[in-house]
């Protein structure tokens, strides 16, 4: 399972915390959360199949998704690719909201709904073994190679397959079969900026 330290949880509705002025915060966490969600999907099910992915920008002057694709090569090989471009740099604060839904006469909340102060999360990620592990997985499919260095305006996750993720895990925690929706939203300056929705089915 993907665990988040409760000391770094943050609700967009609460008073805004003092964010660290780190221009890489939004971009790095943007990609880590994509990896985190996909790893979480793989970890909790014995068999996983991606069924769809949708990327939405609430402000195209802030971020735009140039690629948001689920590619089916054959019945057993599928991969996800995402390419986003950020325009208003530097970004000095960001909040990520992650929610999970299960399809039961429509998609209903399932497991958890949590928000993370992205800048604080980034600052302590080296001391968090779970995040470090996810980051190492993420590096193999992303253009982000070093979180301590400046990045360009593009953040990509290229050809991330369930086959690859399944090979990285040895302890699998089964959940009921069904259709699941993973939604992750990005906020900056307490303003909703964009979201990515990953649809999957487990069996």
CATH 2.70.220 fits 6-202, yes or no: yes
The pTM for the full model equals 0.71
Query: What whole-number distance in Å separates Cα of residue 97 and Cα of residue 80?
Result: 20
Query: What whole-number distance in Å separates Cα of residue 101 and Cα of residue 199?
Result: 10
Query: What whole-number distance in Å separates Cα of residue 60 and Cα of residue 63?
Result: 5
- Token representation of residue 176: 């009921």
Checking if the pLDDT of 3 tops 50, the result is: no
8 A C-beta contact, residue 151 and residue 160? no
Q: Report in angstroms the alpha-carbon separations of 97 from 60, 104, 117, 164.
A: 19, 22, 9, 25
* H or E element in which residue 102 lies: strand 95-103
E strand intervals along the chain: 48-57, 63-72, 78-86, 95-103, 107-117, 154-161, 178-188, 191-202
Checking if the pLDDT of 189 tops 80, the result is: yes
- Considering only CA atoms, which of 137, 189, 195 is closest in space to residue 21? 189
At 34, the pLDDT band (50, 70, 90 cuts) reads low
| Terminal Cα distance for the chain, rounded | 17
Distance of CA 114 to the CA centre of its chain: 12
Query: What whole-number distance in Å separates Cα of residue 8 and Cα of residue 185?
Result: 17
At 14, the pLDDT band (50, 70, 90 cuts) reads very low
SS3 140: coil
pLDDT, averaged across the chain: 72
Torsion angles phi and psi, residue 130, rounded to 5: -65, -50
Looking at residue 57, its pLDDT comes to 97
Checking if the pLDDT of 180 tops 60, the result is: yes
Query: What whole-number distance in Å separates Cα of residue 117 and Cα of residue 98?
Result: 12
8 A C-beta contact, residue 101 and residue 108? yes
- Token representation of residue 170: 């040895």
Checking if the pLDDT of 55 tops 50, the result is: yes
């Amino acid at each position: 399972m993907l665990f988040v330290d409760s000391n770094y949880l943050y609700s967009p509705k609460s008073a805004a915390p003092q964010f660290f002025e780190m221009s890489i915060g939004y971009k790095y966490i943007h990609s880590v959360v994509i990896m985190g969600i996909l790893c979480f999907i793989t970890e909790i099910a014995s068999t996983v199949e991606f069924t769809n992915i949708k990327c939405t920008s609430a402000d195209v002057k802030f971020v735009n998704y140039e690629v948001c694709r689920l590619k089916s090569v054959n019945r057993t090989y599928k991969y996800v690719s995402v390419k986003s471009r950020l325009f208003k740099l530097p970004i000095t604060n960001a909040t990520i909201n992650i929610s999970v839904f299960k399809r039961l006469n429509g998609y209903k909340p399932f497991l958890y709904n949590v928000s993370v102060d992205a800048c604080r999360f980034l600052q302590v990620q080296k001391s968090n073994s779970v995040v470090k592990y996810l980051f190492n997985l993420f590096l193999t499919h992303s253009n982000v190679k070093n979180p301590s260095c400046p990045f360009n305006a593009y953040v990509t996750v290229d050809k991330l397959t369930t086959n690859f993720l399944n090979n990285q895990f040895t302890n699998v925690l089964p959940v009921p079969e069904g259709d699941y929706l993973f939604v992750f939203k990005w906020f900056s300056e307490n303003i909703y900026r964009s979201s990515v929705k990953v649809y999957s089915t487990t069996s």
